[in-house]
Amino acid sequence: MSLKTIIKNASWLALIQILSYLIPFLTLPIVTRAFGPTLYGILATFSAYAAYVTVIVQYGFDFTGVRAIARTRTDNVTLSKTVSTIFFAQVLLGAVALAGFFAALPIIVPHGAEYKSVGLIVLVQIFATAATPQWVFIGLEEMRSLAIVQSVFRTLAATAVIYSIRAPDDLFLYVNINCITAVAILIFSLFALGRRHIRWQIPSFADLFSVIQDGAYFFISKASISLYTTTTTLLVAIVLGPAAAGTFALADRIRVVAASIIGPLNMAIYPFLFRVVGRQETDAEAWTQRVFFLGILALSALISIGLFVFAPPIVRLLAGDAFRDAISLLRIIAFLPFIITLSTKFGYQTMIPLHMDRAFMWIVISAALLGITGYLVLMNTFGLTGAALAMLAIEIYVTVAFAVAVQRRVSILSFFFETS
């Protein structure tokens, strides 16, 4: 695969990421002003809670699925069996997760008890989003169909939000718009796969068990990662209240959207990495990886600098003075895009293709344990600032731990420089 092909695939992935993050982000000034810090915080808490449904539905298939498809995509029979088995496993796991998390909703998010129906709709939306088989399109390196589907429905959703959301009473309508959009994208993406000659079939129990077993390390790893990433907003809500959670969620949302272009660029190179692993790279392949990584690293540095410098006007423009405490939080976590780019290279793009799954898992498990402890201690001591500092510290720890593990197998200097 040439650098040109990777960039083409990354462009389609970037479009999907933009549609997923940037279009809702453009409606953020309307949403924050309509709902205010407390109601926005409750909504953000529901989303953070529902993120565990994402972890269960995706399970690890977004990596094992890409890896399997990258190796079998020329055989339509094997490809159809692989896609069907993994997708049915996702639906099965997701149905169990949806029921369980909805039942526990009043216990885990007690301050949102009067909005239980809103919580259910958010859970369904997250389930539909997580079940959308983006991993298939990535493995096939055919992102165009999914990008078109996403562009149509997300543009319609943004238009509906702009014209209809004005006050706190519109919360139910807002979450319904998002949920209907997610379900529509899921349905039409499945139709798109059918046009790619994917023939759906009911998998055997043995096949389901096999793919679930194959993704176990990744599931444990992703669950652990969620404990020190998306759980933060939930912890802030529990310790400091929904208004504080709204402020923190806004700062983190800005950071995520600003860095959203990096994710597609990283994902686009996975099929290439899985194909060259286990053999000696050619000079051209090594050059492609190095140039691609250094370009992303430079971009992430610019994003981090921009977030730090322009935090005040960004927050004021998007949310107004009611969220002014988010400015200092955004400046602390502004460094995360750069740090996470390094950890992605060391972890996902090196350890996983090299099948260092166990080492990867233990690093993120330790990060989860340290992260939860760090959040609770620092939040009780420094409030919202402590939550931001804990988020930054744990990502630095993960990056360093990944680098140390990788250095035992390959020289990390080769990621930055041409080595003999």
The percentage of the chain sitting over the pLDDT mark of 90, rounded to a whole number, equals: 27
What mean pLDDT do residues 408-416 have?
A: 80
Res. 104: pLDDT tops 90: no
Is the Cβ–Cβ distance between 63 and 351 less than 8 Å?
no
| Complete DSSP assignment for 108-147 | H-GGGGGGHHHHHHHHHHHHHHHHS-HHHHHHHT--HHHH
Q: Is 36 left (phi over 0), alpha (psi -120 to 50) or beta?
A: left
DSSP class of 414: G
Cα 265-352-234 angle, rounded to 5 deg: 75
pLDDT tens for residues 244-263? 999 999 999 899 888 877 87
Helices 231-240, 28-58: axis angle to 10 degrees equals 120
What mean pLDDT do residues 349-353 have?
A: 80
Res. 372: pLDDT tops 70: yes
Res. 285: pLDDT tops 60: yes
Distance of CA 403 to the CA centre of its chain: 22
DSSP class of 259: T
pLDDT tens for residues 120-158? 999 999 999 989 888 788 777 677 777 788 888 888 998
Rounded Cα gap, residues 251 and 314, in angstroms: 10
Res. 179: pLDDT tops 90: yes
Pick the most confident of 19-33, 54-68, 375-389. 375-389
Q: How many domains does the chain have?
A: 1
Domain assignment of residue 236, yes or no: yes
Res. 273: pLDDT tops 70: no
Res. 1: pLDDT tops 50: no
Is the pLDDT higher at 276 or at 294? 294
Sign of the CA dihedral running 122, 123, 124, 126: positive
The percentage of the chain sitting over the pLDDT mark of 70, rounded to a whole number, equals: 86
Domain encompassing residue 162: 3-415
Quote the pTM value: 0.74
Pick the most confident of 74-83, 192-201, 272-281, 332-341. 332-341
Res. 266: pLDDT tops 70: no
Coil, helix or strand at residue 16: helix
Is the pLDDT higher at 131 or at 355? 131
Domain assignment of residue 337, yes or no: yes
Rounded Cα gap, residues 135 and 64, in angstroms: 9
Side chain identity at 331, as an amino acid letter?
Answer: R
pLDDT tens for residues 310-332? 999 999 988 888 899 999 999 99
Domain assignment of residue 420, yes or no: no
At residue 26, the pLDDT reads 78
Coil, helix or strand at residue 174: helix
Place of tokens 């990744």: 218
Domain assignment of residue 323, yes or no: yes
Res. 2: pLDDT tops 60: no
Rounded Cα gap, residues 44 and 171, in angstroms: 12
Rounded Cα gap, residues 338 and 127, in angstroms: 30
Is the Cβ–Cβ distance between 26 and 253 less than 8 Å?
no
Chain mean pLDDT for the chain: 83
Domain assignment of residue 303, yes or no: yes
Pick the most confident of 43-47, 211-215, 264-268. 43-47
- Least confident range of 21-30, 291-300, 369-378: 21-30
Q: How confident is the model at residue 73 (pLDDT cuts 50, 70, 90)?
A: low
